């Protein structure tokens, strides 16, 4: 299933984020999967995604340049696939 | 090499993969034991000291710790420490020979969140396994696997050190894991600890390395490797994983007395970074040790500098070079191009021996290799 940037997403409650110089590490305690958030923009986006009514608006609010929006959407899609972020209103 | 790899090679604020050997005591005496375990060290960290380390790991946001030994379950406070860690969000994956994983323990484990179990087995058959791990150890491990499986523990790990004698059993290991709802994890035989005594005769041959690489590529991410075989990436496409030596950069080891080493395969004075008791805690050692600072500097490729495959294998494993007596700036002893073969042949004698060594006396007195070839 494609990633729907028009809907609301939030960080899975099973995920912990640890800031690092390159961005952050994200660890999912359920699947024991580690993901690398490869920029501080992506880290901030993931941490704030639950505050916005849609992923698209979170990206816009994150100061991501227009030319890079697609890249960030695809990064979020990958994180959604691995359960790091979950559709708001759904169980984790 | 991508930017992320470079960042990892410069070190992180906290390790990604932290191994903690809780005790040197062990009821087995595997011939290739990385930590030369056997006897408990009387200076072993107390329960309170272990709790203090876990408090620090929580503060540093170390997501999980790989607990091993020796046999960690022989510590009386093992279950307490397991609960103490997981209650603080520090997940635990522990390695065991299975001797204490009875049905009650299995039931307890399945009800504990954030705990993963790794059963060590080095032969799909008792004949192959027991020559390395000791009589009865195959049956013990399989009983533990059955207990975990019966209790409903899914995706525990079946952990295998790949040797010359079991490399043709990879499919059988995979079946064994599948039959028990477990996941197979393969790791490299290191010449570390007592492994120094048996590496020459047990490490896979050049042909076997190639077969192993192809098998790993075929199975992809369904088989875990702990990034163990990155030196084989020089055969072709990279294996799944970070494909770099993480020693002191993203990986380290805490030993039972609180000594911090660069990696689990480098328990030797040469790679000792500090001690969690004497040097003001783990975080201070991780951030401030001289050795770790050096490891986080750009490393010289040495003799490998002119090799077109250096970016693929990164010169291989530091510990494997050290314990086979090869220079650290140069090819891995199992370099897929065979670039270390001449140097290995010309070694004046055995490489560095384990220090410290907690082997039980009967192993020290006899030739450990002889216990393999009986």
Query: What is the distance of C-alpha A55 from the center of its chain?
Result: 8
Q: Which stretch of DSSP H or E encloses residue B18?
A: strand B17-23
Across the interface, do A32 and B4 touch by the CB < 8 Å criterion?
Answer: no
User: Max Cα separation, chain A?
Assistant: 34
Confidence of residue B373 (pLDDT cuts 50, 70, 90): very low
Of the candidates B203, B26, B41, B30, the residue with the CA atom closest to the CA atom of residue B130: B30
Across the interface, do A16 and B89 touch by the CB < 8 Å criterion?
Answer: yes
Q: Which residue's entry shows tokens 């994890």?
A: B185
Model pLDDT, residue B58: 97
B128-168 pLDDT, tens per residue?
Answer: 999 999 999 999 999 999 999 999 999 999 999 999 999 99
Please check whether residue A36 touches B, CB under 8 A: yes
Phi, then psi, of B276 in degrees rounded to 5: -65, -25
Task: Rounding to the nearest 10 degrees, give the CA dihedral for residues B67, B71, B77, B82.
Answer: 30
Please check whether residue A34 touches B, CB under 8 A: yes
For residue A67, the distance in angstroms to the closest alpha carbon of chain B comes to 21
For residue B59, what are its two tokens?
Answer: 């503060």
For residue A57, the distance in angstroms to the closest alpha carbon of chain B comes to 28
Using a CB-CB cut-off of 8 Å, the residues of chain A touching B116 are 32
Using a CB-CB cut-off of 8 Å, the residues of chain B touching A27 are 63-64
Cα separation of B161 and B196, whole Å?
A: 14
pTM over 0.90: yes
Residues B320/B332, Cβ–Cβ less than 8 Å: yes
Domains and CATH numbers, chain A: 9-87 (3.90.930)
Confidence of residue B351 (pLDDT cuts 50, 70, 90): confident
B64-110 pLDDT, tens per residue?
Answer: 999 999 999 999 999 999 999 999 999 999 999 999 999 999 999 99
């Amino acid at each position: 299933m494609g990633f729907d940037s028009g809907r609301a997403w939030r960080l899975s409650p099973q995920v912990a984020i640890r800031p690092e110089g390159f961005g952050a590490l994200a660890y999912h305690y359920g699947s024991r999967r580690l993901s690398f958030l490869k920029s501080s923009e992506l880290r901030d986006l993931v941490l704030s995604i639950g505050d916005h009514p849609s992923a698209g608006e979170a990206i816009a609010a994150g100061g991501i340049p227009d030319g890079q929006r697609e890249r960030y959407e695809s990064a979020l899609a990958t994180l959604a696939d691995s359960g790091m972020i979950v559709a708001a209103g759904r169980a984790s | 090499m991508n930017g992320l790899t470079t960042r990892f090679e410069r070190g992180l604020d906290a390790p990604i993969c932290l191994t903690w050997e809780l005790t040197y005591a062990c009821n087995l005496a595997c011939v290739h034991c990385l930590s030369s375990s056997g006897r408990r060290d009387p200076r072993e960290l107390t329960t309170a000291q272990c709790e203090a380390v876990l408090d620090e790991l929580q503060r540093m946001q170390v997501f999980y710790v790989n607990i091993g030994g020796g046999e960690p379950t022989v510590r009386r406070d093992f279950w307490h420490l397991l609960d103490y860690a997981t209650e603080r969000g520090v997940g635990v994956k522990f390695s065991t020979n299975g001797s204490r994983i009875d049905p009650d323990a299995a039931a307890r484990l399945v009800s504990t969140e954030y705990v993963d179990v790794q059963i060590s087995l080095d032969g799909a058959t008792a004949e192959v396994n027991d020559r390395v791990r000791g009589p009865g150890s195959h049956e013990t491990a399989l009983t533990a696997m059955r207990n975990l499986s019966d209790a409903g523990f899914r995706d525990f790990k079946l952990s295998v050190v790949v040797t010359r004698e079991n490399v043709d059993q990879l499919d059988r290991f995979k079946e064994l894991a599948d039959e028990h709802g477990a996941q197979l994890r393969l790791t490299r035989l290191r010449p570390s600890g007592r492994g120094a005594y048996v590496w020459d005769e047990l490490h896979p041959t050049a042909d076997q390395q190639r077969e192993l690489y192809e098998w790993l590529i075929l199975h992809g991410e369904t088989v875990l490797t702990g990034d163990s075989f990155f030196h084989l990436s020089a055969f072709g496409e990279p294996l799944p994983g970070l494909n770099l030596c993480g020693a002191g950069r993203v990986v380290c080891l805490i030993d039972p007395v609180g000594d911090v080493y660069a990696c689990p395969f480098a328990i030797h004075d040469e790679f000792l970074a500090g001690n969690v008791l004497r040097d003001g805690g783990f975080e201070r050692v991780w951030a401030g040790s001289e050795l770790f600072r050096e490891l986080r500097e750009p490393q010289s490729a040495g003799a490998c500098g002119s090799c077109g495959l250096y970016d693929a294998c990164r010169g291989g494993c530091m510990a494997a070079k050290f314990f086979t007596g090869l220079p650290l700036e140069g090819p891995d002893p199992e370099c897929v191009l065979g670039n270390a073969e001449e140097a290995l042949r010309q070694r004046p004698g055995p490489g560095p021996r384990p220090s410290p060594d907690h082997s039980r006396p009967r192993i020290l007195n006899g030739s450990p290799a002889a216990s393999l070839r009986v």
